[in-house]
Structure 1
Amino acid sequence: MPSNPRTRLQLDPGDMPIYAIGDIHGRLDLLRQAEQAIFEDASRLPGRKLIITLGDYIDRGPASAQVISHLMQPVPDGFDRISLTGNHEMMMLDYIDGKMSYDSWMMTGADALLHSYGIDPNQMPGLFRTASKRDAFIRDSLPKAHIEFLRSLPILLDTPAVLFVHAGIDPARSIDNQQDDDLVFIRHRFFESDLPLPKLVVHGHTPVDQPDVQEMRLNLDTGAFRSDRLTVARLWQGEVRLFST
């Protein structure tokens, strides 16, 4: 499901503490809890701090629209935030752009997203005689500012010691030659490869019961939409601290 190439960011954060947040999936309540924990933890640390959200803000959970609105707002003084795209954001845009069918989109948990915008998918058959009219209604009903925000999200943040990305990378390719689809969809070729990774990869996408801590990768997707656990990693001075809601 290819989309337009996404922006890839490079940053040298120096000694800045970085907080990475796993897959949110419409759980604004957990995002607020995680942020409060971040703010309390960061109050004991010097200088500016960076929050990185790893994608999949929408679908499955009850408040996709509200999560997007929240991420569009400024962060408190002393913080910066970078929101990366996930595969669910890209699939939403593929539906909007006519690259994905409505039925395929609904299979990703997008019914919950529509409910968060006040649209009931169960009423669609009775309201619209054709699929094209239904699709046009949905596309016209979604806030343009939200769509533009999702289109603007970068797909990767590369720092000297850590790579932040939604799903992982293809270990057979250099960082510069990664394919967008792999960065948001990859699983087995990333997890099962014997090839060395170029640096620590912090990611989500594949739900796990507990954060999966490996020598060169860290999976923060603890299935927040069903587990009530949204996981955060603090990376600072070569150490990682994990905490969850």
Structure 2
Amino acid sequence: MRIYAIGDIHGHLAKLREAHDLIAEDRGMAGDPAAEVVHVGDLVDRGPDSRGVIDFLIEGMARGEPWVALKGNHDRMFEGFLGDPDHYDPGLRAGLHWTDPRLGGGETLLSYGVAGAGERMLFDLHDDAVQAVPEAHRRFVRGLALMHRAGDLVFVHAGVRPGVPLDRQAEDDLLWIRREFLEDTRDHGGLVVHGHTPVDAVTHYGNRLNLDTGAGYGRPLSVVVIEDGAVWQLTASGRVEVRPPR
């Protein structure tokens, strides 16, 4: 089995295109054009072109690309704001709104031509956003999957609640969990491939694989190929094996 996975994109269309170029090159060498590509969520926020990222994914899936896009916490916050300007995601700390500069919602709205996040009344900002964001984009974000399973691999955005069966995981955990998952070394029913918590480099912990290398903070967007239990990061100079601890 061969499957590709891409970390948190955060509105960086150029980086996403580069990741897919690396996949296309690797597919050509492997002779496997039908291998799936999983995007582990946080498609939007912070970067300059969240709209372009969603367009890219919609267009690729429409032409039959074997792509899977998962929902991240930032994608859910975007969805929530479009439904209600006062939406408060339970994963956020009290008093923090999606339009706060630390979260990058304003950059997402700017990609749709809506300016003034953090300066204008939320209801006015919301009215403009509802007019500017195509219904196809809203439908796409609403329909993003929370988990994708392939053989012994479990793809989610943030992680899983240890000790809870995979088919009983709570959405809030799949999108937001950190410490309880990151510090747990037990087997979770498969290698969990995730993002959400930035690390300096793609890291294999034995029971999980973290792909978020901080694209939302100006760092690289990472892409890997997993085949026959081995993990390889794709780079401009070829594959680099990512090994679990001994």
Computed over aligned residues only, the root mean square deviation of the Cα atoms, in angstroms, reads 2.2
Deviation per residue, 1:170-194 (Å, 9 max, x gap):
0120101100110010000101125
Alpha-carbon deviation of 1:197? 1.9
Contact 2:11-2:216 at 8 Å conserved across structures: yes
Q: In the superposition, relative to structure 1, how do residues 184 and 131 fare at CA in structure 2: closer, same or farther (>3 Å)?
A: closer
Which of 145, 148, 161 does residue 136 from structure 2 map onto? 145
Matched, 1:63 2:49: yes
Matched, 1:72 2:65: no
In the alignment, what sits opposite 2:87?
100
Q: Which amino acid aligns with 2:167?
A: D
Task: State how many pairs are aligned.
Answer: 226
Matched, 1:202 2:193: yes
In the alignment, what sits opposite 2:91?
none
Matched, 1:24 2:9: yes
- Helix, strand or coil for the counterpart of 1:218? strand
Contact 1:208-1:222 at 8 Å conserved across structures: yes
- Measured in 1, the distance between the counterparts of 2:145 and 2:159 equals 14
Matched, 1:41 2:26: yes
- Measured in 2, the distance between the counterparts of 1:122 and 1:112 equals 8
Deviation per residue, 1:48-96 (Å, 9 max, x gap):
2111101101000101110000010126989511111111111111112
Q: Which amino acid aligns with 1:240?
A: V
In terms of mean alpha carbon deviation, does 202-211 or 218-227 score higher?
218-227
Q: In the superposition, relative to structure 1, how do residues 77 and 133 fare at CA in structure 2: closer, same or farther (>3 Å)?
A: closer
Alpha-carbon deviation of 1:20? 0.2
Q: Which amino acid aligns with 2:191?
A: L
Alpha-carbon deviation of 1:236? 1.1
Structure number with higher relative contact order (C-alpha < 8 Å, ≥ 6 residues apart): 1
How do residues 142-221 of structure 1 correspond to structure 2 at under 5 angstroms?
142-221=133-212
In the alignment, what sits opposite 1:237?
228
- Measured in 2, the distance between the counterparts of 1:65 and 1:103 equals 23
- Helix, strand or coil for the counterpart of 1:104? coil
Contact 1:168-1:190 at 8 Å conserved across structures: yes
Q: In the superposition, relative to structure 1, how do residues 79 and 137 fare at CA in structure 2: closer, same or farther (>3 Å)?
A: closer
In terms of mean alpha carbon deviation, does 61-70 or 71-80 score higher?
71-80
Given the two structures, how large is their TM-score scaled by the length of structure 1? 0.85
Given the two structures, how large is their TM-score scaled by the length of structure 2? 0.85
Deviation per residue, 1:96-134 (Å, 9 max, x gap):
222615960112210111111111116953xxxx54333
Which of 107, 115, 136 does residue 110 from structure 2 map onto? 115
- Measured in 2, the distance between the counterparts of 1:132 and 1:24 equals 28
- Measured in 1, the distance between the counterparts of 2:125 and 2:77 equals 18
Q: In the superposition, relative to structure 1, how do residues 103 and 239 fare at CA in structure 2: closer, same or farther (>3 Å)?
A: closer
Q: In the superposition, relative to structure 1, how do residues 194 and 53 fare at CA in structure 2: closer, same or farther (>3 Å)?
A: closer
Alpha-carbon deviation of 1:199? 1.1
Q: Which amino acid aligns with 1:229?
A: P
- Helix, strand or coil for the counterpart of 2:30? coil
> 5+ unaligned residues in a row in structure 2: which ranges?
89-94, 237-246
- Measured in 1, the distance between the counterparts of 2:149 and 2:96 equals 35
